[in-house]
Amino acid sequence: MSASAYADYNPLDPAVRENPYPWYTYLRDEAPVKFIESLGAWAVSRHEDVRKLLLDHAQFSSDPLIRIAFGDFNPAPDARYLLSSDPPDHTRLRTLVNKAFSRRYILELRDEIAATAARLLSDLDGRDEYDFIAEFAAPLPVTVVGNILGVEPSMHAAFRRWSNNVTAGGNADALSEQQRAVIRSDANDFREYFLARINTVRKKPEDNLISALVHAEETGQKLSADEVLALSVLLLIAGNETTTNLLSNAMVTLAQFGDEEKLARSERSLIPALIDESLRFQSPVQLLFRRATANTEIAGQKLPQDAIVMPIFASANRDERAFSTPERVDIRRTDLRNQLAFGWGIHLCLGKALANLEGEVALNALFDRYARVEINTPQIEWCDAFYLRGPKNLPVRVHRA
């Protein structure tokens, strides 16, 4: 197909969701800042521009994000969310949550994550064919985040359902009245459950993140119950489907680039680089949004105040101006530090260390147990959410080591 066949980029088009990368190449080369009618937003596709935009939180506010993600189904409508706040609120919230979610605390979770991964795989011991997502890539992160937050294991399945339904609410136009009623009731359950937990740990502290958030204090300031609710909801949602997609996208990538898998299997210290490279190549969060706080410009394109701007992380991550041979997966590449799958600047993913650890532990567990994980479908169906990327399901056939 000629390059101009990709001139009409529309992320809502199923053909784009199937394989967005030729459209991204067109945008970077021909229209690096382009207005996208279907979303009413300006797509920003080059690495340099995406990075600058993410660093400039004064001119580009994060305030549209929660409305876009939840639509009318926000479980904590009265609270400021970390993800969609700007300084000084963002600074206050991030300082408090950083205290409770420190890198040291995350690294201590390695054994617990390894035990969860081993249990999930042991439960599959009699089976050579299964859905990698339903059996492994989805339950692993929900169990990990559920345990971190201090949610009873019996609630984890309900959690996953809630978080999937509440995020599907962001695409409200596509929903029937009945679906809307279910999502509204789920958002309400979410809210009631967390507020009750917050109340309990306020009276009697526990050894979990909800309790740490309730009791975290910075220069005399604490988080309100609504802010703890918003953070709990955000951690659950931000850490769930993204990490599921990290794991399943890594499987798809390895099936395509077998030599890189061989290399990582023979040199396990390369697994973190393999995770990073897979995140660059198939970024689970493809794009997000910002709002221009004043008349401004990006790469010479003038933008009016309140323009909605859409940094495409996944396009930046395939930009030949920032990465050599970006269409190739190369776990020894030296330019990986440029990858933007976790964002950049003040909103850099809070769960980066956790997601990387889950990925590393999961791949080690899979490599230990299986000599090969074969993708058992001729055609992968990609998820419907236009800003995320990951298979809807992933049938695999495993070959034991």
Q: Which residues are at the interface with ligand HEM (CB under 6 A)? A: 54, 62, 65, 82-83, 94, 145, 234-235, 238-239, 242-243, 246, 284-285, 288, 313, 341-343, 347, 349-351, 354-355
330: how many CB neighbours lie within 10 A of its CB?
Answer: 20
Angle, helices 241-256 vs 352-369, to 10°: value is: 50
The secondary element (H helix, E strand) that includes residue 298 is strand 296-298
Amino acid at 317: N
Task: State the minimum distance, in angstroms, from the CB of residue 17 to ligand HEM.
Answer: 17
Q: Is 71 left (phi over 0), alpha (psi -120 to 50) or beta?
A: left
CA distance 87 to 59: 12
CA distance 371 to 399: 6
In the beta sheet, which residues pair with residue 217? 222
CA distance 151 to 58: 36
The nearer residue to ligand HEM, 6 or 240, going by C-beta atoms, is 240
The four Cα atoms 258, 263, 267, 273 give a dihedral, to 10 degrees, of -80
The nearer residue to ligand HEM, 27 or 238, going by C-beta atoms, is 238
Task: State the minimum distance, in angstroms, from the CB of residue 180 to ligand HEM.
Answer: 26
CA distance 327 to 371: 26
CA distance 218 to 222: 7
Q: Phi and psi at residue 191, in whole multiples of 5°? A: -60, -50
The nearer residue to ligand HEM, 144 or 198, going by C-beta atoms, is 144
The nearer residue to ligand HEM, 6 or 360, going by C-beta atoms, is 360
The nearer residue to ligand HEM, 6 or 276, going by C-beta atoms, is 276
Task: State the minimum distance, in angstroms, from the CB of residue 84 to ligand HEM.
Answer: 8
Task: State the minimum distance, in angstroms, from the CB of residue 351 to ligand HEM.
Answer: 2
The nearer residue to ligand HEM, 179 or 293, going by C-beta atoms, is 293
Task: State the minimum distance, in angstroms, from the CB of residue 346 to ligand HEM.
Answer: 6
DSSP letter at 133 equals I
Amino acid at 141: P
CB 287 within 8 A of CB 312: yes
The nearer residue to ligand HEM, 6 or 252, going by C-beta atoms, is 252
CA distance 202 to 152: 17
The CA-atom distances, in angstroms, between 241 and each of 121, 138, 163 are: 19, 7, 9
Task: State the minimum distance, in angstroms, from the CB of residue 395 to ligand HEM.
Answer: 22
The nearer residue to ligand HEM, 60 or 73, going by C-beta atoms, is 60
The nearer residue to ligand HEM, 25 or 84, going by C-beta atoms, is 84
Give the 3-state secondary structure percentages of the chain, helix then strand then coil, rounded to 5: 55, 10, 35
Task: State the minimum distance, in angstroms, from the CB of residue 94 to ligand HEM.
Answer: 5
Task: State the minimum distance, in angstroms, from the CB of residue 9 to ligand HEM.
Answer: 20
Residue 278's nearest CA partner among 397, 366, 363 is 363
The nearer residue to ligand HEM, 195 or 346, going by C-beta atoms, is 346
Task: State the minimum distance, in angstroms, from the CB of residue 47 to ligand HEM.
Answer: 14
Residue 335's nearest CA partner among 355, 316, 309, 357 is 316
Task: State the minimum distance, in angstroms, from the CB of residue 81 to ligand HEM.
Answer: 8
CB 127 within 8 A of CB 166: no
Which residue is closest to ligand HEM by CB?
A: 351
